[in-house]
Structure 1
Amino acid sequence: MSEPTPTLMIVTCRTAGCPNADESFTVRMYPNVEEPVWAAMCAGCDQMVQDIVPATPSA
């Protein structure tokens, strides 16, 4: 079985009071087999991140 390729995603926590609120991080993510396809937990507040978008390659 081959190893899946990670996808670069930009994750931004929007939780009020979080020390990382509104700060974006580019991370390598693997899709989940079930919904939600993309899931991340904020290291600053331990809440699930709702703002996850694909990172666009630099030109």
Structure 2
Amino acid sequence: MRFLWPLVWAFLISCVISYVLISMAGNEFEFGSTLMATIVITLAVFVLGEGVLKSGREH
């Protein structure tokens, strides 16, 4: 369950960011770029949460 919620939140945040930035540029909403941003944000959360931040507390 802890891996599902970051994915959901990353998708929602990516949708909002994509919609706002694309609307400001005057272009159409692209779902593909939103999914790519979701994957990048989710991977960053997993790497930071499982690796970098936990190993920093142990030292």
| TM-score (norm: length of structure 2) | 0.24
Between Structure 1 and Structure 2, the one with more helix by share is 2
| TM-score (norm: length of structure 1) | 0.24
The structure with more radius of gyration: 2
